[in-house]
A and B are shown apart, each in its own frame.
Chain A
Amino acid sequence: MCTVAATISDNGVHLSPAALREALGWELKPQGLCKDDRCVPVRGHADLVTQTGVDLAGFAGLLSRPLAMDVEERVAYLGASAAERAAQLASLQAPDFTLPDLNGTLHSLSEYRGNKVLLVAYASW
């Protein structure tokens, strides 16, 4: 979770390239939007990058990532794409996670490597 400087207008929510890099780790380069060793071309996406900055909704769409926004409350949640989650699951390598127990102590799935694990998701509801 982070706070990022953004411009909110009738044309949507725009982040400056600096804010995009700082908040999300994506950089606007001549070849497109890049992170680590991956670049996505922005040519052909006319309204994605304007004088105001990078359109957040357009950015999410470019990466096929889900974006939930509440502009009035000035909050947004950018989730993982279905493709990313699906690829991980289809690889059959169980996604690692770190969660607290009821005492607040953190545990990771990877701690149990070497054991057979029955992972049970349940709820009080």
Chain B
Amino acid sequence: MYAELKDHGFTVVTVALDKSAEDARPFVEAARPSHPSLIDTEHRLADLYRIVNVPTVVWIDEQGRIVRPNDVAFGTDMFKDMHGIPSAPHLAALRAWVKEGKTPLAADEVRKFQVLPTAEEQLARAEFALGWYLHQAGKPAVGERHFVRAGELAPHDFTIRRGSMPIRGVDPMGPAFFEMYSEWAQAGKPYYQPLEGTAKS
């Protein structure tokens, strides 16, 4: 879907926050991309960019500057009925940026829409990292304690609460996830928080 933008000095960089290349491979192969498809088993990108759910998109200009901060955007409307976010507005804005050089947001607006990390979120990431290390070291039961602690520290961080499920042998599409999601929704909390007030048509 980004093929039309390819010759306009545009690159998509996808990063899978997955526990192995094998988990990400079906998605990469289905997309048959000409762009870089990276794997981030330690969730380093989540730490650097304060990513708390997927998919998250960030726009970075030719000088390496963030011109549109973290947002949830889908490439298709395949699951729109489930999450309610149409793909067209983001794609239209992206086309305008790439083909016409239309600046999405002024710098102070980018900052206004950025959500910056908190100490609790960073501690949750450290606990997740420790859980992952221990799991990789062959101590899943010990790692489990740290995954649980991470989820307690940052209950809104689904890269931790859902992202740790495959590591822990829990189906991220199964009952444990739906229970977590229902509890979240019933508390009136959004699973996704799209940017508001940006240049969406």
A residues with a Cβ closer than 8 A to B are: 1, 64-70, 72-73, 75-82, 85-86, 88-90, 92-97, 99-102, 107, 109-110, 112-125
- Number of B residues contacting the other chain (C-beta, 8 Å)? 79
Of B79-87, B119-127, B189-197, the one contacting chain A is B119-127
| Minimum distance in angstroms from B196 CB to a CB of chain A | 19
Docked-complex contact A92 and B165, CB < 8 angstroms: no
A115 and B62 contact, Cβ closer than 8 Å, known pairs A82-B116, A82-B121, A125-B163: yes
- List, in ascending order, chain A residues with CB within 8 A of B165's CB: 125
Mask, B53-68, CB within 8 Å of A = 1, is 0111111111111110
CA distance A115 to B60 in the complex (A): 9
CA distance A90 to B114 in the complex (A): 8
B residues with a Cβ closer than 8 A to A are: 2, 8-18, 21, 23-28, 36-40, 44-51, 54-67, 94, 97-98, 107, 110-111, 114, 116-119, 121-123, 125-127, 129-130, 133-134, 139, 142, 145-146, 149, 159, 162-163, 165-166, 172-173
A121 and B45 contact, Cβ closer than 8 Å, known pairs A101-B36, A101-B37: yes
- List, in ascending order, chain B residues with CB within 8 A of A110's CB: 64
Docked-complex contact B60 and A90, CB < 8 angstroms: no
CA distance A122 to B72 in the complex (A): 10
Docked-complex contact A125 and B172, CB < 8 angstroms: yes
- List, in ascending order, chain B residues with CB within 8 A of A94's CB: 58, 60, 64-66
CA distance A70 to B47 in the complex (A): 21
- List, in ascending order, chain B residues with CB within 8 A of A77's CB: 126-127, 129-130, 133
Docked-complex contact B125 and A79, CB < 8 angstroms: yes
The listed residue (A67, A96, A102, A118) touching B39 by CB distance below 8 A is A102
Interface of A (DSSP majority class): mixed
Contact sample, A vs B, 28 pairs, CB 8 Å cutoff: A66-B119, A66-B122, A69-B130, A70-B145, A73-B134, A77-B127, A79-B126, A82-B118, A89-B117, A90-B116, A96-B64, A100-B38, A112-B60, A113-B63, A115-B11, A116-B59, A116-B60, A118-B10, A118-B12, A119-B57, A120-B56, A121-B40, A122-B14, A123-B17, A123-B18, A123-B159, A124-B26, A125-B165
- List, in ascending order, chain B residues with CB within 8 A of A86's CB: 116-117
A79 and B10 contact, Cβ closer than 8 Å, known pairs A89-B50, A113-B62, A116-B61: no
- List, in ascending order, chain B residues with CB within 8 A of A96's CB: 64
| Minimum distance in angstroms from B6 CB to a CB of chain A | 10
| Minimum distance in angstroms from B113 CB to a CB of chain A | 11
Docked-complex contact A76 and B130, CB < 8 angstroms: yes
The listed residue (B9, B13, B36, B49) touching A89 by CB distance below 8 A is B49
CA distance A97 to B48 in the complex (A): 8
